Structure 1
Amino acid sequence: MSHGRDHVERVVKLAVYIAKKEGADVEVVKKSAELHDIARDKPNHAIESAKLAREILRREGYDEAFVEKVAHCIEAHSFSSGVEPKTLEAKVLSDADKLDAIGAIGIARAFIFSGENGRSIEETIEHFEEKLLKLKDLLYTKTAKELAKERHEFLVKFYEQIKRELKFYEEI
């Protein structure tokens, strides 16, 4: 699955790594990464995931300040949620999620998502243009920007190659 448990586990690892490097609250970052996609199947999944996370964390006995810090991270993590991250922890989660969408893993996830949703190669390439190729410029932390360099370069090379191959088929 493009947004399954393996994606969440990678985002948790990336987020904790970035949090440690950047001096963010690791506990807030880790918990928000674990819960960031729990309502992935719903429209505006970031807002819905934050609502569910609040319920879960309150049931687990976390204090309200912690709950709200985590909820903000989750609300602000998504490319399309429209919520600007206001804290370092929210920026870290946003960056970790975006990093998992570029590079070789990001390419694999894009095509898995396309298979899950019946999108063609051409429609997937449009997704590259509309979102994936823009992600490196939307990162907040120095650590994520460093990690993104190689991943973005690979994404661009793949994109250019697949565009050349598709063009070939148009010309024959």
Structure 2
Amino acid sequence: MTFDAAHDTAHLARVARWTLRCAPALAPGLAVAAALTHDVVNLPKNHPQRAQASTLAADAVRAELPSLGFDRAEAEAVAAAVRDHSYSRGATPETLLGAALQDADRLDALGALGILRAAAAGGSMGRALLHATDPFCTARTPDDAAYTVDHFFTKLLRLETTFQTAVGKAEAARRTAVMRAFLANLGEEVGAEFLG
């Protein structure tokens, strides 16, 4: 397994911190367990089973947490949050734990860290940084399999509307503004106007 800078232990720690911030009423042990295990099955973004990664992770969590002192109900609660957090799966979590985990994980895809993580993921998958003549997809369909900047248009700039907790919504708005400012600056550097 190769190192994945976008899904390293620092990512897990940030997700744990923000899961707790998004829902301070949660039992801290469950919030941290969900955050630390949410990527236990981490398939590459271009893997054909990517959409099933969170379901596979939930199965692993459900099986292993009882051996770490969690009761069956706690293990199931964490597993459900892990299953439903994933953007690729397209689910809306049904619990506060799931909503907080999903918000925390999505926050890490936004802002300055999100820009770094997008660049790291794009580089690891061999994507070009941006389309040479239309970097902001004004006259073409975004293709984030080919261009890293296109990922802002296929996913990252759309995330802000998906947050469920008040803390997550506020932080997502702040971080999305950071990304829009980055794109405006990028436009100035490459001679293309960012209209978003």
Same fold (TM over 0.5): yes
1:27-66 alignment runs, 5 A limit: 27-41=29-43, 43=50, 44-66=52-74
CA offset at residue 164 of structure 1? 4.6
The equivalent of 1:102 in structure 2 is 110
What is the rounded CA distance, in whole Å, between the counterparts of 1:4 and 1:16 in structure 2?
19
Q: How many matched pairs?
A: 166
Counterpart check, 1:82 vs 2:93: no
What is the rounded CA distance, in whole Å, between the counterparts of 2:29 and 2:164 in structure 1?
19
Q: Which amino acid aligns with 1:5?
A: T
What is the rounded CA distance, in whole Å, between the counterparts of 2:177 and 2:68 in structure 1?
42
CA offset at residue 27 of structure 1? 2.3
The equivalent of 2:175 in structure 1 is 151
CA offset at residue 167 of structure 1? 4.7
What is the rounded CA distance, in whole Å, between the counterparts of 2:56 and 2:112 in structure 1?
29
Other structure's SS at 1:144 match = helix
What is the rounded CA distance, in whole Å, between the counterparts of 2:63 and 2:190 in structure 1?
47
Counterpart check, 1:127 vs 2:151: yes
Q: Which runs of 5+ in 2 are unaligned?
A: 44-48, 131-146
CA-to-aligned-CA distance 1:72-130 (integer Å, 9 cap, x gap): 11011111112220001100000000001100000000001111111111211111101
Other structure's SS at 2:148 match = helix
CA offset at residue 62 of structure 1? 1.8
Q: Confirm or deny: 8 A CA contact 1:36 1:49 kept in the other structure.
A: yes
CA-to-aligned-CA distance 1:54-87 (integer Å, 9 cap, x gap): 1210222421111110001101111111222000
Other structure's SS at 1:121 match = coil
Q: Confirm or deny: 8 A CA contact 1:29 1:90 kept in the other structure.
A: no
Other structure's SS at 2:164 match = coil
CA-based RMSD of the aligned residues comes to 1.5
What is the rounded CA distance, in whole Å, between the counterparts of 2:182 and 2:105 in structure 1?
20
Q: Which runs of 5+ in 1 are unaligned?
A: none
Query: In structure 1, which of residues 24, 27, 31 is the aligned counterpart of residue 26 of structure 2?
Result: 24
Instruction: Give me the TM-score of the superposition, normalised by structure 2.
Output: 0.79
Counterpart check, 1:4 vs 2:8: yes
